């Protein structure tokens, strides 16, 4: 009871801040039942005056509520099915910028995490150059065998874990309450959405995992000439501290500097799209926060991505789904595109493949009628997910994260080249994956894997049979003279039986009576 009161208090404070900043003005009262509609009108009575934009209202409210709500807002930008397209778009504009915490606290955190004072770890350690909701970054220098080098040092905010845990508990409480009351909330899987947010935050709060993400992404893309990530300094990395190579590059959104340095902007746009698709389709592990602030161009013309705190993963089934969906739209094969949804288990089998193909055609045909530079792959995925509710397709958080990242990546690429042809750019990456994995070579490899799995099962059969025989022998020995239970077990069974409900007892007596009548007839 006390826990519920605490959750209601925290959520009530959040509701007050939203009302005060005018966030509830974004809701459509006509779409609400009478009770919530009245609550919405009452909440608007305390609205602060002013004509701030919708995005500014949201941003101000979330920033006032603190880092967990800023992170929640950024996460909900990936869930237009939950908050609506308009609010999701406004949340995409939310900047994760917070005031820095003091230099002394940062140095104390580093010393505690790495076991040595900052003066012994770094030849120079500067003030923060960027501060966000979870951590801030300092520019520093270290001495090594190859001379002095510049590094970026990321430090978690003091006490941030406890604050996130407290607010995440309240988010879970609200999601469970909503799912108990609403079938639509259950379809949207609000509890699973909060679980996804909690996992994402857990990874961001352990900087060793972000360091591992840097390392995995670098390994996956080591042979790609257009994309790289900074190297990790593992000796100066711990759970609350991450040290990486400092990136000396031009921000990707500074087009004037890029052009002055002689970089080919359309080539950079194509490289960004293809690099992201390779990460998602080929590797199943993609950088899910590729906004312009996290992208630079180095002197060799390579894209450099920083901040691997938010990463996405796709299993082989999801990668095949994505590749075949995109290729189906490229080739206008609507039936095959629909079949992929059913084969992946995303659409329940009681629906018609033909009806779903018709819905997909309604999305795809208008896109193909437009000039190439007006076709949006992100818009395609958005429309595709919009029709899923009509076919009882349950929300897939990993695909929504992919869609959100595609929206951002496409926007950045189009800023570099407004005439970018998305289909022509994507086609080589998608076709290569399909030919590799769904062509003859891929089928041979799948068959080899299945044979290998069967071989491992056959190889383990003697051990399984031996363990089964041993289990049967022990069971026979234990039951030969009757199964003996300890007094504690007997007492526990008695207490459990005593707790059986009155209805269970009546049901048992009813069964006995029916059996007696049947035997005596």
Q: Which residues are catalytically annotated?
A: 289
Report strand pairing: 303-305 vs 227-228.
parallel
Sign of CA pseudo-dihedral 316, 318, 322, 328: positive
Using only C-alpha atoms, the chain has a radius of gyration, in whole angstroms, of: 29
Return the bridge partners of 245, or none. 151
Q: In angstroms, rounded to a whole number, what is the distance separating the alpha carbons of residues 512 and 86?
A: 63
Calculate ∠ Cα 209-278-451, nearest 5°.
85
For 113-170, give the DSSP string. Answer: HHSS-HHHH-SEEEEEEEE-SSEEEEEEEEEETTEEEEEEEEEEPTTHHHHHHHHHHH
* Paired tokens of 35: 């009770």
Q: In angstroms, rounded to a whole number, what is the distance separating the alpha carbons of residues 316 and 284?
A: 7
Return the bridge partners of 228, or none. 304
How many Cα atoms occupy the beta-carbon half-sphere of 289 within 13 Å?
19
271: alpha, beta or left, given left = phi > 0 and alpha = psi -120 to 50?
A: alpha
* Paired tokens of 356: 């779903």
Euclidean distance between the first and the last CA atom of the chain, given in angstroms as a whole number = 55
Calculate ∠ Cα 450-455-457, nearest 5°.
95
Phi and psi for 127 in degrees, rounded to 5?
A: -70, 170
């Amino acid at each position: 009871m006390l826990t519920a009161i605490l959750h209601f208090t925290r959520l009530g404070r959040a509701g007050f801040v939203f009302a005060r900043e005018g966030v509830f003005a974004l809701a459509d009262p006509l779409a609400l039942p009478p009770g919530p509609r009245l609550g919405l009108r009452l909440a608007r009575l305390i609205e602060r005056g002013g004509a701030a934009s919708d995005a500014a209202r949201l941003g101000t409210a979330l920033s006032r509520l603190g880092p967990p709500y800023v992170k929640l807002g950024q996460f909900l930008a990936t869930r237009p099915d939950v908050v609506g397209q308009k609010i999701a778009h406004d949340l995409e504009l939310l900047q994760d910028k917070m005031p820095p915490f003091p230099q002394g606290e940062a140095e104390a955190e580093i010393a505690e995490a790495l076991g040595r004072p900052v003066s012994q770890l770094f030849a120079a350690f500067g003030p923060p150059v960027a501060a966000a909701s979870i951590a801030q970054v300092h520019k520093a220098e270290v001495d090594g065998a190859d001379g002095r080098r510049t590094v970026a040092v990321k430090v978690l905010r003091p006490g941030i874990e406890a604050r996130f845990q407290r607010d995440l508990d309240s988010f879970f409480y609200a999601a469970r309450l909503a799912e108990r009351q609403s079938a639509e909330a259950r379809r949207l899987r609000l509890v699973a959405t909060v679980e996804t947010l909690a996992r994402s935050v857990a990874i961001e709060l352990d900087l060793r995992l972000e360091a591992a993400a840097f390392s995995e992404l670098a390994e996956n893309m080591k042979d790609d000439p257009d994309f790289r990530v900074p190297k990790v300094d593992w000796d100066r990395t711990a759970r609350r501290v991450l040290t990486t190579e400092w990136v000396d590059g031009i921000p990707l959104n500074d087009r004037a500097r890029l052009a002055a340095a002689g970089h080919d902007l359309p080539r950079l746009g194509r490289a960004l799209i293809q690099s992201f698709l390779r990460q998602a389709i080929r590797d199943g592990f993609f950088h899910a926060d590729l906004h312009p602030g996290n992208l630079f161009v180095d002197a060799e013309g390579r894209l450099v991505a920083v901040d691997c705190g938010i990463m996405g993963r796709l299993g082989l089934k999801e990668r095949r789904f994505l590749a075949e969906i995109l290729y189906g739209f490229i080739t206008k094969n609507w039936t095959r595109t629909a079949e992929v949804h059913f084969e992946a288990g995303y659409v329940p089998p009681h629906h018609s493949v033909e009806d779903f193909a018709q819905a997909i055609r309604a999305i795809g045909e208008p896109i193909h009628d437009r000039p190439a530079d007006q076709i949006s792959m992100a818009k395609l995925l958005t429309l595709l997910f919009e029709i899923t509710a009509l076919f009882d397709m349950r929300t897939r958080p990993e695909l929504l994260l992919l869609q959100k990242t595609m929206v951002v990546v496409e926007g950045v690429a189009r800023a570099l080249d407004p005439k970018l042809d998305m289909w022509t750019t994507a086609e080589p990456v998608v076709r290569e994956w399909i030919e590799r994995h769904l062509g003859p070579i891929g089928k041979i490899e799948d068959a080899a894997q299945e044979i290998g799995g069967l071989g491992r099962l056959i190889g383990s059969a003697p051990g399984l049979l031996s363990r089964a025989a041993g289990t049967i022998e022990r069971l026979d020995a234990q039951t030969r003279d009757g199964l003996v239970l300890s007094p504690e077990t007997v007492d526990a069974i008695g207490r459990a039986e005593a707790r059986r409900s009155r209805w269970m007892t009546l049901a048992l007596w009813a069964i006995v009576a029916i059996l007696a009548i049947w035997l005596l007839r």
